[in-house]
Amino acid sequence: MIAIIDYNTGNIRSVINALARMGATDCMLTADADVIRRASHVLLPGVGEAGTAMNELRSRRLDTLIPTLTQPVLGICIGTQLMCLSSEEGDTTCMGIFPTRIVRFNDDAIKVPHMGWNTITQLRSPLFAGTDEESYVYYVHSYYPELCGCTIARTEYGVPFSGALMRDNFFGTQFHPEKSGPVGEQILRNFLAL
């Protein structure tokens, strides 16, 4: 069973729909710690503001549960950001799974939010099996994870940043695989095969 963590953020339906298109129908939207612990895979999707989203995790005591999970865990967009050390958005302390900060795009020469298709390069993880260098994925964000030793895919938009991160059983994509067509579907399939 795939647990999709429910913490009152948007974009849950598109993740569920993407999994259903792949035939992965054994998934449950839940904030129940016991259900999450028993799941084969865990997804932490979301769209929203870091401070509010982190408060939602704290109110459900999921901020202490998630870092202890031992099965494959995938953060998507704000879910990935919450797995980092901190975010400039709302001056938020996050879960600290990935050793990097979330910072705001501040280049006046680029449009913020970064919205639309962009490439991922320097791919290095089983998450990207069968994915070509410079494949296009879909982004919607104003804040990004800085590059670090856990960076497994890189994107450039004014500055280079972590398009994806990995540490042990934890994975995160700043882009939305559920909105990234066949490339995103392959990435989700690879995650579910871990």
Q: Which CATH class is domain 2-193?
A: alpha beta
User: Which amino acid belongs to residue 91?
Assistant: D
pLDDT of residue 11 exceeding 90, the answer is no
Alpha-carbon distance 129 to 66, whole Å? 25
Domain borders along the chain are 2-193
Catalytic residues: 77, 176, 178
Per-residue pLDDT of 18-74, as tens digits, reads 999 999 989 999 999 999 999 999 999 988 899 999 999 999 999 999 999 999 999
Strand partners, 149: none
Strand partners, 153: 164
What b/e readout covers 51-70, taking b as 16+ CB neighbours within 10 angstroms? eebbbbbeebebbebbeebe
pLDDT of residue 3 exceeding 80, the answer is yes
Alpha-carbon distance 143 to 40, whole Å? 30
Both structure tokens of 97? 């799974």
What pLDDT is stored for residue 9 in this prediction? 86
